[in-house]
Structure 1
Amino acid sequence: MTRWEPVPATAFGTAGGPVLAGFLGRALVRALVRATGTAAFSVPGPRSARRAARLDVLRAVAAE
């Protein structure tokens, strides 16, 4: 009995953890969207990605 006791707790944590994290993450994103009035997490466009790819890192760090 002692060896099988942690099995249900492990199964519950394995199944319940991602479900709980999904609900809490969704609630957080909705709260941020309501608070700011815009999309909380937006993906930058390809134009920004191209500009960042051409950036000289050493010059940028030296400027700061």
Structure 2
Amino acid sequence: MESELVLHNDGCHCKKVRWKVQASISVIAWKCNCFDCSMRGNVHFVVQRFELLGDSDQFITTYIF
């Protein structure tokens, strides 16, 4: 059974990209071990109900390593 969904609001540390997502109050996050994510301490989690806010989409690009 899926736990109750709550609204999470957050975004990039630069504040140009903002988003909201409905997800369980407790999420499973993966710690990436690539150089960039390790250096920045990034963690990732997959959600189905995701929305970029405002003009955030103009600051999103395809990342190529």
TM-score range, shorter chain: under 0.3
The normalised TM-score by structure 2 is 0.21
Q: Which has the higher helix share?
A: 1
The normalised TM-score by structure 1 is 0.21
